[in-house]
Amino acid sequence: MTTPADIQFHQAEPGQIATLDGKISVLVAPDGAMDALARKLNTLSKGALQRLAQSESFENLDEGEGRVLAFPAGLAAEAVQVVKLPKRPDVLLARKAGAAMARFQDGACALHVLAGNHRQASEISYGLALTAYRFGAHKSAETPPLGKVVFHVNHPEETAAAAHGHAALTEGVFFTRDLVNEPANILTTLDFAARLAAMQELGLEVTILEEGDLDALGMGALLGVGQGSEAPSRVVVMEWKGGGDEAPLALVGKGVVFDTGGISIKPAGGMEEMTMDMGGAAVVSGVMRALALRRARANVVGVVGLVENMPDGRAQRPGDVVKSMKGDTIEVINTDAEGRLVLADILWYAQQKFAPAAIVDLATLTGAIIVGLGHENAGVFSNDDALCAAFLKAATAEGEGAWRMPMGAAYDKLLKSRIADMQNVGGRPAGSITAAQFLRRFVKDETPWIHLDIAGVALLKKDSDLAPKGATGWGVRALDRLIRDRFES
């Protein structure tokens, strides 16, 4: 997987600033106030920092952003970035400053961050780490590794300890991004399953269910999706047992490694992005990796359904009827509404197998959620107000956009089938809501449940706050915080 940046924490030594090579980032408050390191840098550069801090361009600069001084006099460094940041910023603003530093470095040269006694130095380093991501696995010219990052702080051991917990989350996010960015000829269902099996070395218990197992369990809805593909369908179960005897939280993810739409084939334009249709499974996998790395004191099980939706002579047809593991029959009106068929079976499996305290499912499920919320928020659907509120609080704290959407029995009428217990689509109106209502039928009344439609946030065509364009890793941080806040002992 993509290796996170090498971030070190060293004792601040003002006398060494003149000899630091590479690039330097320094913090200056909005009112121009500087700590001892910044004042020393200002002296070495013959007042360049002070002149910038008193300029109109600095006044107009957003907090958390920076201005660059190229080839400053009196320094060995090739450039200095002056980042406008209050002494007591909130967590998200501190991470924004770190993101600006990552974009400033963006190369093989070293970056020295003069953070001194700044209260949020560890959060700044976290924002830098999350943003310093480059997916170069398939470029013929080798992508050089990013240079080392050294934070010069007054208390390096304390700052490093505070940043240690972030390292596991960064690796979980990177794992998710790598999975989503991989092309479908590389990340097949079998390759995906193998990557998850490898996490046994981290202490996860991993079980892979093959097609014979799925057939024996009665997962006709999931198996129907993949029957037109040469790639065999799989369900992978990851268990982290870090708590006591309490029932686990279940995370359930849609893992369609490529979605052509099947017989209801998608338009050619943009179909190449359907390599990201396993984004829900990728987020579940990233969370499980982070939990294992940080040795979380919680019981969590991750269940992902891995399939490929292809048009073939054996492929599922519109009008087919499949039987779910629950026993309900489903008329397949549109084979491009396949993700809910996958989730239906693994949602039921997770409840039958683990009797979870709660379930969160994730899926790049509908284009309708993008129409409704754009690329700023995931759609949140739930049958439990308390669980939903806890998740929304966690998402807000992590700066991951999420918006609760309505549900209700009236929408169920749109799923009525003439020949089966239900049909898999309800037409164009309220498309993301009817998808959630469909899934709700496979959640027991007594089980608190959240459905996250992440179609708009899993992969972006432009840089986001803490990620370059491409896979974002949305949801790993919010779910980890939910687990810390609500399920960790």
Using an 8 Å Cβ cutoff, are 102 and 126 in contact? Answer: no
pLDDT at 60: 97
Taking each helix axis from N to C end, the angle separating 189-197 and 279-293, rounded to the nearest 10 degrees, works out to 10
State pLDDT tens for residues 304-330.
999 999 999 999 999 999 999 999 999
Q: Tokens standing for 454?
A: 């992440």
Give me the domains of the chain, ranges plus CATH numbers: 7-154 (3.40.220.10), 171-487 (3.40.630.10)
User: How far, in Å, CA of 233 to CA of 190, rounded?
Assistant: 8
Q: Is the pTM value of this prediction over 0.95?
A: yes
Is 477 annotated as catalytic?
no
Q: Give 464's DSSP letter.
A: B
Give me the catalytic one of 87, 266, 297, 444. Answer: 266
Long-range pairs of 416-419 with CB within 8 A, sequence gap ≥ 24: 417/330, 417/331, 418/331, 419/321, 419/331
Q: pLDDT band for position 107 (50/70/90)?
A: confident
Express each pLDDT in 388-403 by its tens digit.
999 999 999 999 999 9
Pairwise CA distance, residues 397 & 375, whole Å: 18
The answer to whether 245 and 296 are in contact (CB under 8 A) is no
Question: Is residue 1 over pLDDT 90?
Answer: no
Max Cα–Cα distance, the chain, nearest Å: 81
Is residue 340 part of the annotated active site? The answer reads yes
The pLDDT, as a whole number, for residue 368 is 98
Q: What is the pLDDT of residues 294-305, one digit of tens each?
A: 999 999 999 999
* Residue-wise DSSP of 362-374: EE---SHHHHHHT
**Tokens standing for residue 472:** 């974002």
Report, as an integer, the average pLDDT of 78-84.
97
CA angle 227, 229, 234 (to 5 degrees): 70
Q: Which of 177, 289, 294, 340 is catalytic?
A: 340
* Identity at 349, one-letter amino acid code: Y
Tens of pLDDT, residues 268-277: 999 999 999 9
Quote the percentage of the chain above a pLDDT of 70.
100
C-alpha dist (Å) from residue 37 to 21, 51, 239, 344, 408 = 16, 17, 47, 57, 58
State residue 439's pLDDT score. Answer: 98
